[in-house]
Amino acid sequence: MRIVRTVAELRAALRDAGRVGFVPTMGALHDGHLSLIRAARAAVDTVVTSVFVNPMQFNDARDLEAYPRDEARDADLAASAGTDVLFVPSPAEMYPDGYATTVSVRGVSEPLEGAHRGAIHFDGVATVVAKLLIAVAPDVAYFGQKDAQQVAVVRRLVADLGLPVEIAVVPIVREPDGLAMSSRNVRLSAADRPRALALKAGLDAVAAALSGGAAARDAERRGADVMRQQGVDPEYLALVDPATFAPADDLTRPTLAVVAAHVGDVRLIDNLTIPAREEA
């Protein structure tokens, strides 16, 4: 595996690379990230993984400072999963002196995560993803389903800018007890770790309520009640359209149940795809 740190080095490394797959990450790699790399490895000639903790998408300086970083560990894991080129740019490489451009994706970026984390979050995501896709110029870029709203933002970005890249979405990877894998999980205290399962319990309760014929808003309330019974108060628990993230009322189409909550000092997100309800 080759490690490069500048866009010029990256482009040189990708000359005659064949079909390129790209996995953008912020490091602190876990099995969820590795599942993306393995999916790329099985489908393309050259796999590029990036590790860049993007300061533009953090609205809380403390969260940015606390984000785990271990380049040597990330490099070992990325190589073992099949990465050919590891791109590890510095903030100065991505945002040099005089940098003045922000990419904003309106609509899908505004509710839920956008409302709770502020416009700066998805503006930062859209900007760095656009820059990375331009730098790598991959045939396929791989994203995890856990960050479902981010995926929707990226799909809109790619469609609107006409970027010649396929977006592949890989299913959520979970711990044996059902907790969605996240780089933030390592920050959960021993006491809070069991409480984190409330997010998946809330999603499962929504799915069960819908299977029993409940309306969308009633199912949302049921899921939130289950979470509170487990000691976790959701920031939001909602049924949404997977493409627009607008509230979902038409349950005869596939929908997405999405949830976010603080467990102790750690903010977690999760989601669950809900199959279309058969029309009566």
Q: Which residues are annotated as a binding site for (R)-pantoate?
A: 57, 150
Token output for 159: 């469609």
Q: In 3-state terms, what secondary structure has residue 142?
A: strand
Angle 196-202-207 (CA atoms, 0-180°, nearest 5)?
A: 140
Question: Rounded to 5 degrees, what are φ and ψ at 249?
Answer: -115, -30
Q: What is the CA radius of gyration of the chain?
A: 19
DSSP for 208-229 reads HHHHTT--HHHHHHHHHHHHHH
Q: In 3-state terms, what secondary structure has residue 258?
A: strand
Q: Which residues are annotated as a binding site for ATP?
A: 26-33, 144-147, 173, 181-184
Distance CA 235, CA 269 (A): 10
33 is an active site residue: yes
Cα Dmax for the chain: 60
Q: Which residues are annotated as a binding site?
A: 26-33, 57, 144-147, 150, 173, 181-184
Q: In whole angstroms, how far apart are CA 201 and each of 36, 208, 224, 228, 234?
A: 25, 10, 9, 10, 12
Catalytic residue among 33, 116, 121, 262: 33
Tally of CB atoms within 10 A around 197:
17
Question: Rounded to 5 degrees, what are φ and ψ at 10?
Answer: -60, -50
Q: Which residues are annotated as a binding site for beta-alanine?
A: 57
Angle 211-216-218 (CA atoms, 0-180°, nearest 5)?
A: 90
Q: In what order do the strands lie in the sheet with 255-263?
A: 234-240, 255-263, 266-274
Catalytic residue annotation: 33
